[in-house]
Structures are given as structure tokens and as C-alpha cells.
Amino acid sequence: MVPRFYKKKKKLLVRTQSLQTFLLNLKNKKMSFNITTEIASFGGNLLKLTHFSSTLGCEMSLNLYLPNTNNTTTTITTSTTKFENDKQIKFPVLFFLSGLTCTGDNCAEKGFLQYAASQKRIAIIYPDTSPRGLNIPGEDDSYDFGTGASFYLDATQSPWSTNYNMETYITVELPKELFAYFPQLDSSRISITGHSMGGHGALMLFLKNPGMYQSVSAFAPICNPIKCSWGQKAFSGYLGVEAENSEKWKMNDATELVQKWSGGSFRCLIDVGTNDQFYKQKQLLPENLAEAARKTGMDQDLVIRYQEGYDHSYYFVSSFASDHVNHAAKFFFA
């Protein structure tokens, strides 16, 4: 027969353990990710994740590709599990920023960056393109402003300034949480790339954060947003009219930023299709970035390739995806 005092002690112990578990789960809920799907891809795993962003004030979705470690499917390791040994491989990280109307799924499903990433053992992060579901008036009125069209900046104009803080999300909150939750990601080796609006984001964030990224590349990027209608519309809404906020505009424009760059080698690769309708419409303006880089002596570190016959689609992105992964790898493994 079990003594009564022992039963009480055991019951109290169980309650204490339950409280500790509850508090631990509560803490993890604030700082962790929910893995909704795991998809085998080129020997590794593409993870579909959700988490709550305090920077954006909403639930966010993203994709994370983890390559294989020993020619087998990657074992998922998070901060809640132990390393198999202290010498477990840490993967350098490549951020891919998508373009207007996209989510973190588009390139993960159609860009085929995972093929080269699996060979080079590079992890890829595919964030979403904006906060979602905030019910801000005008948020869903057009494809090139609001939902799916953040331009990866921190808005300063109401009502957007409360939630549309994608620069802080991409450069501070998201990497901090990912590196804490997935210890196989190497926080000392990060590079960034992107397509269209995401190419603008990649160039802008690289130039605004010297030393954060080891290289940058872009597919058909919006290189000079203050000179094109897409950028002018977005900047007017997020930052205020140019006449009163010209410096804010310039601080979010790669062509302006490259003229003030003092962070060493530019390490930049850009591809643009000659049959890209938006290139023809002067939305991209890579020639303006090239001229600004030439004037400041940065053109030696800038490679812009005009790919004959290619358009703006993911057929174009997937055709040169391996080149951009290899561009990042060149500096990761130098």
C-alpha cells in the first residue's frame, strides 16, 4: 500500500512538472516556428513554416530549405532537440526575396534554387513578401501596393508604419528567430538574392547593412525605384511624397545607395532578360545602377548580364538559379 503522504508528494511533483512544461511551451510559442509540411527536395527537406512576427503584428509563413548532410535526407534539428554530435554541419544561408504578388512559395516551387543548394550544402530561406490579413484600408486594392508588395522597407507613413516593417523583419527578427530555432544554420555566413521587387529588396538591404551579407545577387531587379512608376507609387504610400521625403526615398533605392557605399567589395551579380516586358517599360533600370556604380568605382564588383530572349518569369529565374547559388557559394567557401 502506498503511503498517503507519498501520493500527495507525487501529485504535487506532477503539477509542478506540468506548470514547467506549460511555461516552456508558452515561451517557445512566442519565439518558435510551426513546421506545417516537410517536402523532400533534391535529397534535403523543404520546410513550410509559420510563426508570429512581433515586428509585423501578424502570423507569417515562409519556406526553409535544408540540404542533405551525408547524401541522405536531412534530419530536422531544432533548438528543442540535441545535436547528434558537436561537429554537426552548419549550413550557410541564402535569403531569397520574391517579387510583387508572390509569397514564399513561388520560388521554392518554381525557381529550382534547391538543386544547386543541395550540391553546395547551402540553406535557403524564402520569406513572404509582406504582412497579411491586417485589414488596413487599401491593403488589397492593387497588386503593386499593400499585400504582396511591401518593397521590403520600413514604412514611416500611417497606417502602414505600424505593421509594414519588412526591412526590420528580414534583417533582424526573422534571422534571429531562425538561427535560435534551427542551430544547423550558420549565422556567420549569410547572403541575399531576389527577383524583381525582391531583387530591389536584396540590393537595398545589402547596401544598407555593410557586413551583414557576404554577397548579393538579383534576377531582373527594380534597380532605381525612385525613377519608375512601381517604386514611386510604393514609396509615396509607405514613405510619404518625394518632395517632402526625398532622403527617405534615396535611403531605399539601390542606385542612390551604391553611390554612398563604403562597405568594401560589392560582390553583386545581376541577370536581366532582354525580352522582359518590365525591362522594356523602364521599371527595372539596371543601366542606372550600372552608371552609378561606374561613377563611384564600384563597377569592378558589379556583373550585369543581359540574357538574350528571356522574360520576367520563373522560366528565366530557374534558368540561371544555379549561377546565383554558386555566386553565393563562392564567398561562403572562400
Residue 61 lies in a domain: yes
Instruction: Please tell me the predicted confidence (pLDDT) of residue 248.
Output: 98
| Adjacent-strand bridge partners of 22 | none
How confident is residue 263, by pLDDT bands cut at 50, 70 and 90?
A: confident
Residue 12 lies in a domain: no
What is the total count of domains within the chain?
1
**Contact present, 111 and 318 (Cβ < 8 Å):** yes
- Percent of the chain whose predicted confidence (pLDDT) is above 90: 81
* Whole-prediction pTM: 0.88
Residue 255 lies in a domain: yes
Residues with Cβ < 8 Å from 197, sequence gap 6 or more? 97, 98, 99, 100, 129, 149, 151, 152, 222, 230
Instruction: Please tell me the predicted confidence (pLDDT) of residue 214.
Output: 98
Residue 221 lies in a domain: yes
Task: Give catalytic status of residue 276 as yes or no.
Answer: yes
Residue 60 lies in a domain: yes
What are the C-alpha distances in Å from 178 to residues 47, 215, 273? 12, 20, 33
State which residues form the domain around 174. Answer: 35-81+88-332
Task: Give catalytic status of residue 327 as yes or no.
Answer: no
- CA 204 to chain centroid: 12
Given 196, 215, 271, 324, the catalytic residue: 196
Residue-wise pLDDT for 287-311, tens only, equals 999 999 999 998 999 999 999 999 9
Residue 101 lies in a domain: yes
Q: Is the pLDDT of residue 23 over 80?
A: no
Residue-wise pLDDT for 1-17, tens only, equals 444 544 444 443 333 34
Task: Give catalytic status of residue 196 as yes or no.
Answer: yes
Residue 5 lies in a domain: no
CA dist 284 and 228 (Å) reads 8
Residue-wise pLDDT for 236-261, tens only, equals 999 999 999 999 999 999 999 999 99
Given 271, 276, 299, 324, the catalytic residue: 276
Grid cell 525582391 in the structure block, residue: 198
Given 51, 195, 312, 324, the catalytic residue: 312
Residue 321 lies in a domain: yes
How confident is residue 264, by pLDDT bands cut at 50, 70 and 90?
A: confident
What CATH number should be reported for the domain holding residue 65?
3.40.50.1820
Instruction: Please tell me the predicted confidence (pLDDT) of residue 28.
Output: 47
